[in-house]
Structure 1
Amino acid sequence: MIRKCEQHGYFRGEQCPDCANEGRYVLDDEREERLGRFVSGALRHFPEDVGLEIDPQGWVDMDILCKIMKKRYKWGTTERLISLVESDRKGRYEIDGSFIRARYGHSVEVDLVPDYPENELPYLYYGVSQEEADMLLENGIIPVRQCYVHLSTSFDKAMRAASIHTENPVIFEIDAEAAQEDGIDIVVVNDDIVLAKNIPADYISIRES
């Protein structure tokens, strides 16, 4: 559930995490999930299919998105879209004036590198299945269903992300400092996720737990 605290803004749950105020109702769980799926698809995977024009950096006109959204969901107001973005703990989206985009997770081709800060962590992490590990150690990591490789900022975060897809993940440690010194762009999109176009095998090793 999404609610709004007049002092601290939109939040998810029953009480504002900053002041314990219950706030004002904005969106229930079912509608939050439905709206989230639509926005994810529209901004990451099939903007043209829903009638959106996406620019090279992934931005779309928020007014146009809202008009399309309201045709599908009569309850799909601009405030509810904004609440979805601002209350999202995973930082999936961002709004800049009259434009909105996904920060990561694209399957459509976008160029995010110029807009985000360069990674400063010496090591990053990436979880894979046991079956994939040997192949990636030999050939490097390239995106499969997305246009960027999504790296994690810590071992534990990589473990949690990989455990969604495989029961016993192998966690790679990426020598990000060396890769960046050699000209590979690696950029930060939020506290958990860092993006790269690819990670060659030379910078990959297995991290033991």
Structure 2
Amino acid sequence: MHVRAEYIAVSKLLSKILRHEPLLVGVQLDKHGWVSIDVLIRAIERTARSPGASKRLRTLPTVTREVIVAVVATSDKQRFTISSDCKRIRAAQGHSVEVNLGYAEMEPPAVLYHGTAWSNWKSIAVEGLTAQTRHAVHLSTDVDMAKQVGARHGPPLVLVVNAAQMRADGYTFTCSDNGVWLTQVVPPAYLSQAEQHTQGSKS
């Protein structure tokens, strides 16, 4: 699917607002991460027209309800969720602001995957996977998707997560609206490398 360039620009802005910085345009997310679509549209327009607005906002195409719906529909990773009454929107996961997404605890697949860069392996081998600035650790059911995520930051490393054993040991998992599995931490004991790397410094 070809995604229009203006949709990509709007998607990046929505991710920043709904995951990390709602005050960028002066909106407030509710405790579950939702904001009114109409309020969001007015806030973006108002901020874009204000003195000192960033180039990103000033050059943004007009954000309408139709554009937001199209952005949600064409998001390759289904980053956003529109409420059942079509009045509100939120990010499916990936928040650095404090929210309670309200996802119910679920039984995970036996094995999940996490994509990262090889440069992170040394610290992960000691500390495991932690949420860091995000709300939770993100895990995938798909190796290729994990590899794509890891490739954003350098040569990718795919880690295998023994989710079945974690669950048996009392760790909890939830699953976001777009199928990303979430947990608070993955200790090193539950991790292994999906692919052995031949470079000695990375093996």
In which range does the TM-score fall when normalised by the shorter chain? 0.7 to 0.9
Deviation sequence 1:40-73 (CA, Å, 0-9, x none): 1110111123111112221112221121133335
**In structure 1, what is the equivalent of residue 122 of structure 2?**
134
The structure-2 alpha-carbon separation of the partners of 1:76 and 1:176, relative to structure 1 and needing over 3 Å to count, comes to: same
**1:151 is aligned to 2:139:** yes
Q: State which drifts further: 74-83 or 100-109.
A: 74-83
* TM-score normalised by length of structure 1: 0.77
| Contact 2:113–2:142 (8 Å) recurs in 1 | yes
CA distance in 1, matches of 2:139, 2:165: 15
CA distance in 1, matches of 2:178, 2:12: 22
**In structure 1, what is the equivalent of residue 149 of structure 2?**
161
Secondary structure of the residue that 2:130 maps to in structure 1? coil
**In structure 2, what is the equivalent of residue 106 of structure 1?**
95
| Contact 1:62–1:99 (8 Å) recurs in 2 | yes
Equivalent residue letter for 1:162 = G
**1:195 is aligned to 2:182:** yes
**Matching of residues 57-136 of structure 1 within 5 Å:** 57-71=32-46, 72=48, 75-96=62-83, 97=85, 98-112=87-101, 114-116=102-104, 118-136=106-124
**1:41 is aligned to 2:29:** no
Alpha-carbon shift at residue 121 of structure 1 (Å):
0.9
The structure-2 alpha-carbon separation of the partners of 1:30 and 1:132, relative to structure 1 and needing over 3 Å to count, comes to: closer
State the identity %: 27
| Contact 2:19–2:94 (8 Å) recurs in 1 | yes
The structure-2 alpha-carbon separation of the partners of 1:159 and 1:119, relative to structure 1 and needing over 3 Å to count, comes to: farther
Relative contact order, higher structure (CA 8 A, sep 6+)? 2
Alpha-carbon shift at residue 116 of structure 1 (Å):
5.0
CA distance in 2, matches of 1:43, 1:174: 28
Runs of 4+ in 1 over 6 A off after TM superposition: none
Alpha-carbon shift at residue 117 of structure 1 (Å):
6.1
Aligned residues: 182
Structure 1: give runs of 5+ residues left out of the alignment. 1-11, 14-27
CA distance in 1, matches of 2:6, 2:100: 31
Structure 2: give runs of 5+ residues left out of the alignment. 49-59, 197-203
